[in-house]
Every structure is written in C-alpha cells, then in structure tokens.
Structure 1
C-alpha cells in the first residue's frame, strides 16, 4: 500500500491521511462479482480514466475527457464491447454516461473487468458522485461532489482503490 492509495474501510475511505464519507453497492462487498448483483468488488483496482461533463464543470484534471451526448457504457454481457465505452446508437444493453442528474458529472473508471472484460463479471465499476449520503450505488464507490473532485485532483498515476 502506498500513500496515494484510496483505502475503503467499513465506514469510510482513507486517502492522503484524510477520511471521506462514501457509499458502496446495495449488494455490499463481494469477492465474486456478477453483472447486475449491485455489489462492489473487493480487490486492488487501478484508476485508468476520467470523464467529465464539460457543460457542468471545468476540466477537473488534465487527463479527464469530456462526456459527449452519444457516450454510453456497455453492460451487454457476451458482446465484444462489454464493459467499455460505446457510442449511440447502440442496440445492446448499456448505461448513459451523460445523465440528467449530476451523478456522472465526474467519473473515475477503475480497471475492474476492464479493459479486457470477462462476460458476466460486472461492468461500469466507477468512482462517481453519490445520489445523497448513505444512498447505495449499483456497485460503484460514490462520494460528495466536493470530495470526489478533491480525490480526482490529488490522484497520482500509482493511485489504487483498495477494497478488502
């Protein structure tokens, strides 16, 4: 473990000698992640990409890419592009990256089952803004907008999300 890691505990996340309130998946933590189970996968996850809504915020970090109106994330298990960013029109099952609510205004993409996805092992395990404190996610880790932005701005290329 290094100083730039994000470490999830049962009650909060530790990062840079600070504690951050967060929420996890409605299915709790799991060592056997499956598509649609609502659980947050245990493990050591690298943070590979960042996306943001340029119409709602300034670029939070230089490596963040804007989310466009056609950007989707495939959750179509069995498809070649399962658990990756795709563009509309896309007939298979997917999630909108450009949402009406602010939940995906800033997304940090973890390497859970990505970029080489195994069918059925879960998709779109992101770090994003929570709906509200204590409200579970579909498997992601979520924070307040202010905390999420702070975390994104202080990540290093060696940062990992550690979920035990």
Structure 2
C-alpha cells in the first residue's frame, strides 16, 4: 500500500483545516490545537533561525522552550501551502532551496530506529522507503515503498528515507517528523518537507528545518497527536506584521 504524506495515518490526521475557521486567528485560538512550534529567522534570505515551543493552557499559549538553534533552507524561506490564506510574495517551488513559511500541521514521526519515545504516530523507515521529489510523478510529495510501487516509480528521487544506508551513513533522517506542506501534492510546489537532525552544526537544508539530535529528540517526546500540534515558520518582520491578525504568541 502506498504510504502518502497526506493519508498514511488517516485515522489520526487533523480533522480541520483553515477552511473550518474564518481566519488564522480563529485557527490558532481553537481548543483543537494545543501545541505550537514556531521558527523565526532574521529575514527571508538567511539559512538559520531559532525554534520556540508553546502549549495552550487555559486558552492561552504558554512558552515551553525558546531560542533553540535550527537551520532552514540554504536559500532561506518562501511562502508554502498550508493552513494560512494566500499571501503576497514569493512561494516555494521544487528545488529552490527554500523552506516553506506559514502555518502547517504535523504528520507522522519517522526514523531509523524500530521505536522511539513520542506522542506522534511513528514509522521506522527501511531501505525501500523514498519520498518522491520528482516533478510530474504521480507519487509527488508522497512516501512510497519501492517494493510496492516498483523501481521506475522512485527513479530520480533524491530522498531515500534511510540516508544512512544510501548516502554514506548520513544521520539526517535518524529522527524526524513530517511537516504537512502542499497536502494536495501539487507538482512543482515543493515536496518532502520535514523537521530532522542536522547534518552538522549550522549546515542548512534543501527546504526542511534541521536541528541538533537532542533538540529533535525532545520535540518528539513532547509532541502529542491528540494535541494537534502546529508548525509556523516566519521571518521576524513578518511575524510582527502578522502577530495581531493571526493571534501569534509573545516570546516571553
């Protein structure tokens, strides 16, 4: 069976999108969403930022952790396709080296180990698992098993999910979580967006959010699918500009 980012865990995926709410402020204020990860960068072009976590208590976002160093796309950020309404400015495209900005839900956790401590659904990756980043592929932006879809279906993919096996011991996907960007799997609009272990300190990504292994380990232990966690990435100026309209929390 094909394992897609959109429906691999259909029974536990988020029940609502922004279409269920009048605007981003109602979305973030909803009691449905009780955990929040925010990544802030200095501007659209930089390849690094800081990660903050929040949990909703008595209807208010409370800061849990702050100023955790992360890297983003090697070419910075661009608007992605998520829960937010259409924005003015550059949008992410396949291969642009930019991480998606906006509001997104989180999918399953994944990694090399048989099991990990997490409140998210977890899938151990095998040497046959790939994420398809090939424009025009019917499996675009989907996690697939080569034994199910065939060798031709993974041709051209640069995203083997067991990078330790396929890419000289690469540790980046040892632990990670899916960021649900481009859930309609529109070809060319960006694919295979994750939070994961960074290759080395300060090394940026092709479009994901990367961090030290102890940071992603802590996130995975904290995240709980029943609290419907959200992920937000924005440059600092845009965060301030959207703060009131979106109901974004303070960092103190």
TM-score computed with the length of structure 1 as normaliser = 0.91
Question: Partners in 2 of 1:75 and 1:90 — Cα distance?
Answer: 15
Q: Which residue of 1 aligns with 2:140?
A: 82
Which is helix-richer, 1 or 2?
A: 2
Matched, 1:138 2:206: yes
Q: Which residue of 2 aligns with 1:14?
A: 52
Q: Which residue of 2 aligns with 1:36?
A: 95
Deviations 1:113-161 (A, max 9, x none): 13x2001001111000001221100100011101101001111332111
Question: Partners in 1 of 2:75 and 2:116 — Cα distance?
Answer: 32
Shift of 1:21: 1.0
Q: Which residue of 2 aligns with 1:150?
A: 218
Shift of 1:61: 2.1
Shift of 1:86: 1.4
Structure 1 segments of 4+ aligned residues over 3 angstroms from their partners: none
Deviations 1:1-35 (A, max 9, x none): 46620011123010142121111000101120000
Question: Partners in 2 of 1:64 and 1:86 — Cα distance?
Answer: 15
Question: Partners in 2 of 1:119 and 1:142 — Cα distance?
Answer: 24
Residue segments in structure 2 that go unaligned for 5+ positions in a row: 1-27, 42-48, 55-63, 80-90, 165-169, 235-252
Q: Which residue of 2 aligns with 1:98?
A: 162
- Structure with the bigger RCO (C-alpha within 8 Å, sep 6+) is 1
Deviations 1:73-106 (A, max 9, x none): 1111111110101122433321110012111011
1:3–1:15 CA contact under 8 A, matched in 2:
no
Shift of 1:49: 1.1
Q: Which residue of 1 aligns with 2:195?
A: 127
Deviations 1:43-86 (A, max 9, x none): 1111111111126xx42326211101111111111111101011
Please, which of 221, 225, 232 is the counterpart of residue 162 of structure 1? 232
Question: Partners in 1 of 2:151 and 2:207 — Cα distance?
Answer: 23
TM-score computed with the length of structure 2 as normaliser = 0.60
